[in-house]
A and B are shown apart, each in its own frame.
Chain A
Amino acid sequence: MNCRSAESLYSAFLEDELSQEERRSLEAHLMGCRRCALSVKELKVTLEVMSDLPAIETSPHFEEEIFDRIRSGEALRPTLIEWLGGFFTADRLRPVFLTGAAVSALWIAVIVTHPEAYLPGGAVAKRGAGTPANSPDNRSLASTDGASVTPGASAGPIGPAFGPRAALASTEPAGVSSSSRRAPANRAGTSGDQWVDSQMPVASSASDSALPDPGARFQDEYILDQFYLDRGNNRGAQSIVPVSGNSSDDVYITF
């Protein structure tokens, strides 16, 4: 044991709070270290002096002054903290907490049972099942996971997961939007997370992948949040189609 570690045990030694092993070890150190032994002695006297300090008495009117202040009511006005402490008691807060817990539980239950309505992830799953994979809907949704970027429409300063398309996709009820829109991606065989160059026609099968099929459909392309470019195929006309799916505004421009 060195002097520094011995010093940390002085109080416990004087108050008899050391284990037998610690005591033996400290005593062995004190036997050989004159400086530490003197320190322990000085500390013992200091503690005695401290415990002998006389009590400081209050003035003779101390008690009556307190009762005068209580009777006058002057001293009974609570401080702001005391008032808040008295107002927000456990009895008052309990119903608030219980109501909050019940509402939270209900909300979580709704999210768990209808994830497509509230969570972007749930919406992806639903759309992935019910919507053709390469539709503009899925393009926008795929961009929310940050794994891919929409061709011709980069993520911009906000980034793919938080851009307007992600917001559009996550806030729109999936069933309504996917069914009401035209679904050009039916012509392409890619999954929602998989992107191909929008300028290239999509191969309809592995065998004809080397040569472009004159009848193959081009990938559609998002133009703005509200429109996508329906490229059709190399025989057909391209058109700009509103994402909203409003049938009266179905085709704006035809090339």
Chain B
Amino acid sequence: MPIEPLRLKKLDPLADLSDEDVMERCATGSEAGFRTLVQRYRSRIMNLVCRFINDRDRAEEIAQEVFLRVFRNRERYRKSGKFSTWIFTIAVNLTKNEIRSRVRHRGTYSLDAMEEETGGQGLPFPDWKPLPDQDLNAREIQHKVAEALRKIPPRYREAVVLRDVEGLSYEEVGEILRIPGGTVRSRINRARLMLKDRLKPHLNLEDDV
């Protein structure tokens, strides 16, 4: 029986470290540390930004800018805070700036006014395009969810995306959006009810209650 050559698996020395520890290494100049953080968070940041502004190309640019800001400010990061909260705060702020600049470009200065301006027909962003290799029904539902998200006011959208899409805790959402816990909870509950009302016709629920 032939003996198989011993294969040495290349191990990532940072794989077992927490985000905070990796960020600490990154702050001391570790490129590998920064690369690890990009790999860990690229999808989540892209997801968050894209759900906010519904424009894939621009969302990717903003996501890149988020990581560049992390890199630029790596020495200012304090390990006492959660890295995820820090990076999501940067992402939310950049996304809000993007929304503001779009609104300003349209001659409107309030995010909520933009919703009013569009008559509740959604924000003036390109439609979300679902991925092509997905089941038709699931794609349709995802499209409807994206559309429903787009139509709720931004302050509700950001809270519900952070909680239900990104899976952050209420405390983290409050910290990122700088609002108290009670406001976070009521805002998320309200956002969910709005989404439920918009998605109800597409959910095929049997009235068996």
Query: A residues engaging B (CB < 8 A)?
Result: 7-8, 10-12, 34, 37-39, 41-43, 45-47, 49-59, 62-63, 65-67, 69-70, 75-76, 78, 82, 85-86
Contacts and interface: CB of A to CB of B under 8 A. Distances in A.
B184 to A, nearest CB: 11
Nearest to B149: A50
B38 A63 contact: yes
B203 A57 contact: no
B205 to A, nearest CB: 6
B85 interface: no
A75 B68 contact: yes
B43 A55 contact: yes
A46 B195 contact: yes
B89 interface: no
B68 A43 contact: no
A55 B47 contact: yes
Contacts of A43: 192-193, 196
B56 A56 contact: yes
Contact of A62 (B63, B192, B199): B63
Given A10-B189, A56-B47, A63-B38, 18 more contacts: A8-B189, A42-B200, A42-B203, A49-B145, A49-B203, A53-B51, A54-B142, A55-B44, A55-B46, A56-B51, A56-B56, A57-B43, A62-B42, A65-B64, A66-B38, A70-B68, A75-B68, A78-B72
Nearest to A9: B189
A232 to B, nearest CB: 72
6 contacts: A10-B192, A46-B199, A50-B165, A53-B165, A58-B46, A58-B60
Given A41-B205, A69-B68, A50 B145 contact: yes
Nearest to A46: B196
B80 interface: no
Contacts of A82: 69, 72-73
Interface in B158-204: 160, 164-165, 167, 185-186, 188-189, 192-193, 195-196, 199-200, 203
